[in-house]
């Protein structure tokens, strides 16, 4: 995994997150996403931000 990909993965202890984009992407409509139990990941369909469920991580919102 390269540095850019590592930077794009946001650790979270939550199974449900929301994303409304970022200043870099100009934002988008807020979407609520559920982390898949099989992969432990969820990707925003608008901006491709990726969250990974981890133990001891922090809840993260865009």
**In this structure, is residue 25 part of a structural domain?**
yes
Looking at the structure of the chain, the number of domains it has is: 1
Q: Which domain holds residue 23?
A: 3-53
pLDDT grade for 1, boundaries at 50, 70 and 90: very low
For residue 19, the domain's CATH number is 2.60.260.40
Tokens read off for 12: 């979270």
- List C-alpha distances in Å: 4 to 1, 34, 46, 49: 8, 23, 18, 12
Cα(50)–Cα(8) distance, rounded to whole angstroms?
A: 6
What is the mean pLDDT of the segment spanning 10-27? 89
Tokens read off for 43: 């990707």
Q: 29 versus 6: which is more confidently predicted?
A: 29
């Amino acid at each position: 995994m390269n540095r850019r990909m590592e930077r794009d993965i946001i650790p979270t202890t939550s199974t449900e997150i929301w994303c409304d984009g970022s200043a870099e992407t100009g934002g988008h409509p807020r979407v609520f996403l559920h982390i898949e139990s099989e992969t432990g990941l969820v990707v925003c369909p608008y901006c491709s931000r990726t969250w990974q469920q981890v133990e001891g991580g922090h809840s993260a919102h865009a």
